[in-house]
Amino acid sequence: MKRDAQMKDIPTCQTGTDAETDFDLPDFFPYQTRVFYKCVSEAVARVYVDEYGMKPYEWRALAILGMSNSYTPAELVTLSSMDKVTVSRAIASLSKRGWLLSRSNKKDGRSRILRTSAEGQKVFSHLVPKMRAVEQEILGGLSQDEISELRRLMRKVVDGS
């Protein structure tokens, strides 16, 4: 796979050396995070796009519903870290594909209980090992200890904010 050109390939020619303006984007943690995120999410997207032409939100919703036998849309919102509008659209498009069934929620008439159809579950089961494979591929250069450490540190950042 071709690597993107790196920051260092282009000279930076600082305007001045005052402490305030001496800012180096490639060393800026949020920038590194964005590059890192893009790289990971693109690798995953290749799988569900190539295999089924799915949208990111479709995969995310299916990944959650495939695990369980019943969630409400609100639970999907919590679990997916997606907006409720996005979840609503994910449900609509997965239903349209015939991968999702819903029944009414006796406990709350405003809500409903969602579950994958047999077809949807099949798609999920087909994708899971592929997703595991990409995960391995992404983390391929890291040792088990490094993987655990990376996960731990990411969690620490999230929990701290």
Partner DNA sequence: TAAATATAGTTTCTTTTGAAATTACTGTTG
Partner DNA sequence: CAACAGTAATTTCAAAAGAAACTATATTTA
Using CB under 7 A, which residues numbered 78 to 117 contact DNA?
A: 82-89, 91-92, 105, 108-112
Which residues on adjacent β-strands are paired with residue 110? none
* Shortest Cβ 26–a copy of itself spacing (Å): 8
Name residues contacting a copy of itself, limited to 16-55 (CB under 8 A).
18, 20-21, 23-25, 28-41, 43-44
Among 98, 76, 71, residue whose Cα is nearest residue 87:
76
* Shortest Cβ 99–a copy of itself spacing (Å): 14
Q: What is the dihedral of CA 107, 108, 111, 116, to 10 degrees?
A: 10
* Shortest Cβ 119–DNA spacing (Å): 19
- Please state, in angstroms and rounded to a whole number, the distance separating the CA atoms of residues 13 and 81: 40
From 84-92, 96-104, 106-114, 148-156, span contacting a copy of itself (CB under 8 A): 148-156
Q: At what angle do helices 118-138 and 56-65 cross, to 10 degrees?
A: 110
Nearer to DNA, 45 or 134 (CB): 45
Query: With contact defined as beta carbons under 8 Å apart, do 91 and 36 qualify?
Result: no
Query: With contact defined as beta carbons under 8 Å apart, do 123 and 99 qualify?
Result: yes
From 86-94, 99-107, 125-133, span contacting a copy of itself (CB under 8 A): 125-133
- Which residues make up the interface to DNA (CB under 7 A)? 55-57, 72-74, 77, 82-89, 91-92, 105, 108-112
